[in-house]
């Protein structure tokens, strides 16, 4: 028995209504989904830390999530793990004609944009041929904004260069200021969202990953702030003992030390 088969058997046992684990038996697609997302993030975290032992373990946890959903689907008569594996296998073959296609397709090699063209054909075959079809609503908002912008751009709806995006950001900032003047929370939230969406489009035009850029800014802020805290602790005083001007001096010193 392969370890995949063993894992599938373990999952069936956990979901057994009479002798299984009560917690596993109670779950459904909706309740398990947050754990699936969490495990994907933990995989990304292990990669970021370059810890291959943790990556092996986290990939196992993520695989278990796939098996969990497939088992629940099989119980409902929808599909089984084999169908999941078959579906992704067929998809990868279909989307890589330069590797798995005819002799002529392999000789032609990889063609720029072919992946997206094949995906567009797949979407049209499902009856949903919108340029925005398939952009998952559950994606983190920053990543979804990036994908929506890319899809719209491929359809021809985009600024010719980043100068247009700069102008859009300034326009959205002015609208945000107007909303702030009204003190209407809903309007402020809407306009703030428009600012963020425009900034994500600027990242796309600069070929920058906005998620990675923001993660870097978070790390930089945390590193500097913790260094500043250490300086203040050494002074024998507390944060509340300093005004903003004094704290800014500590901040600038931290920037020089830790970058």
* Residue 8, φ and ψ in degrees, nearest 5: -65, -40
Q: Which domain does 112 fall in, by range?
A: 96-125
pLDDT in tens, 32-70: 999 999 999 999 999 989 999 999 999 999 999 999 999
Residue 136 falls inside a structural domain: no
CB 20 within 8 A of CB 14: yes
Do residues 40 and 27 share a domain?
yes
Closest CA to 173 of 150, 153, 199: 199
Do residues 89 and 100 share a domain?
no
**Within a 10 A sphere around the Cβ of 228, how many other Cβ atoms?**
22
pLDDT in tens, 205-252: 999 999 899 989 999 999 999 999 998 898 888 888 889 998 999 899
Residue 132 falls inside a structural domain: no
Residue 24 falls inside a structural domain: yes
Domain count, the chain: 4
C-alpha distances (whole Å) from 244 to each of 32, 221, 232 are: 45, 17, 13
Chain Cα centroid distance, residue 132: 17
pLDDT in tens, 129-157: 788 887 888 888 999 999 999 999 988 99
Chain Cα centroid distance, residue 1: 35
Closest CA to 248 of 207, 231, 193, 233: 231
pLDDT band at 113 (very low <50, low <70, confident <90, very high): low
Q: At what angle do helices 185-205 and 141-154 cross, to 10 degrees?
A: 60
Do residues 8 and 77 share a domain?
yes
Using CA atoms of 231, 235, 238, 240 in order, give the dihedral in degrees to the nearest 10. Answer: -90
Residue 175 falls inside a structural domain: yes
Do residues 10 and 70 share a domain?
yes
Do residues 186 and 239 share a domain?
no
Copy the structure tokens of residue 79: 């599909």
Do residues 115 and 151 share a domain?
no
Measure the CA–CA gap between 35 and 63, rounded to whole angstroms: 12
Residue 238 falls inside a structural domain: yes
Residue 202 DSSP label: H
Do residues 102 and 172 share a domain?
no
pLDDT given at position 123: 66
Do residues 177 and 230 share a domain?
no
CB 122 within 8 A of CB 93: no
pLDDT at 112 over 70: no
Do residues 203 and 219 share a domain?
no
pLDDT at 128 over 80: no
The enclosing domain of 169 has a CATH number of: 1.10.287.1080
């Amino acid at each position: 028995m392969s370890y995949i088969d063993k894992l599938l058997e373990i999952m069936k046992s956990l979901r057994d209504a009479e002798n299984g684990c009560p917690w596993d038996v109670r779950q459904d697609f909706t309740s398990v989904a947050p754990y699936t997302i969490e495990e994907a993030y933990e995989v990304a975290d292990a990669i970021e830390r370059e810890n291959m032992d943790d990556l092996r373990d986290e990939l196992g946890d993520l695989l278990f999530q796939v098996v969990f959903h497939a088992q629940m689907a099989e119980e409902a008569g929808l599909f089984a793990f084999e169908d999941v594996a078959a579906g992704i296998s067929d998809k990868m073959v279909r989307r890589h004609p330069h590797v798995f296609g005819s002799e002529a397709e392999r000789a032609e090699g990889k063609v720029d944009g072919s992946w997206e063209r094949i995906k567009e054909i797949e979407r049209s075959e499902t009856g949903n041929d919108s340029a925005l079809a398939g952009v998952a609503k559950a994606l983190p908002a920053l990543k979804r904004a990036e994908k929506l912008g890319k899809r719209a751009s491929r359809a021809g709806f985009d600024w010719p260069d980043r100068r247009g995006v700069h102008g859009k950001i300034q326009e959205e900032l002015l609208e945000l200021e107007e909303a702030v003047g009204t003190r209407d929370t809903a309007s402020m939230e809407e306009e703030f969202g428009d600012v963020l969406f425009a900034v994500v489009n600027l990242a796309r035009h600069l070929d920058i990953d906005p998620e990675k850029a923001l993660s870097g800014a978070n790390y930089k802020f945390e590193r500097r702030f913790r260094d500043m805290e250490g300086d203040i602790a050494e002074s024998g005083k507390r944060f509340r003992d300093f005004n903003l001007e004094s704290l800014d001096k500590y901040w600038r010193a931290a920037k020089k030390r830790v970058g």
